[in-house]
Structure 1
Amino acid sequence: MNVLIVDDHVACADMLADIAEGLGHRVCVAHDGVSALQRCSEETFDLILMDISLPDSDGRDVCFELRTNGRAQKTRIVALTGHADLKGSSSMSDFDGCIVKPIAMEALEALLKDNAPSPV
């Protein structure tokens, strides 16, 4: 699976990338919305893990842009957030799921192993 991890916290992004690579996936990392959009214009991803709080934009806006421009209409995009109150809110409707930080290792591994749905 080709995975894009979008998170401005470098250590978090690197940890997620290491886990995904350890499970046999190809991984790219972006640390802001502009970089994520650029990456998605260059290649297709099977899964995008998108932090909501990015330095240059809101991850929800980046997700909407990816969906609207067709760059990721079929890509599974899962939000990463430290704001538990966002999970299940209507503002998350463009995402296919949501994981609240800190991320449980088992949940992340399950998501990466079988790309199973994660409830929004």
Structure 2
Amino acid sequence: MQTTSKSGRKLLVPTEAEDKAISAGIAADADSPELGAEFFAAARPAAEVLGAGVAAALVAKRGRGRPAGSVAEETKSKVNLRLDADVLEKLRATGRGWQTRVNEALRADLEAGRI
């Protein structure tokens, strides 16, 4: 079965029979057992297992939340813009980052005095 995510991405969802077959395969694989409540009850914090220094270095390398520098000092404003369907289709067909490229093209036209 196919479904569409909020972002428009097409997702294949297994049928009930396929899901049972996948679960049976997972259960039969001794190299990757399913982790249950017993496993998580015995889990310990990384700082305790690796040492405080190693755990601190890992957190410093990649902390929680957005990566450093990913939030601009000047944030953009969200607007609703109505475009012709064919224009929107061609813009989206250029791939990820199409909105940023539209912003750059509009900026260039503004700076060049074309708008």
What TM-score comes out, normalization by structure 2 length? 0.19
What TM-score comes out, normalization by structure 1 length? 0.19
Bigger Rg over Cα: 2
Question: Greater relative contact order (Cα 8 A, min sep 6): structure 1 or 2?
Answer: 1
Structure with more strand by fraction: 1
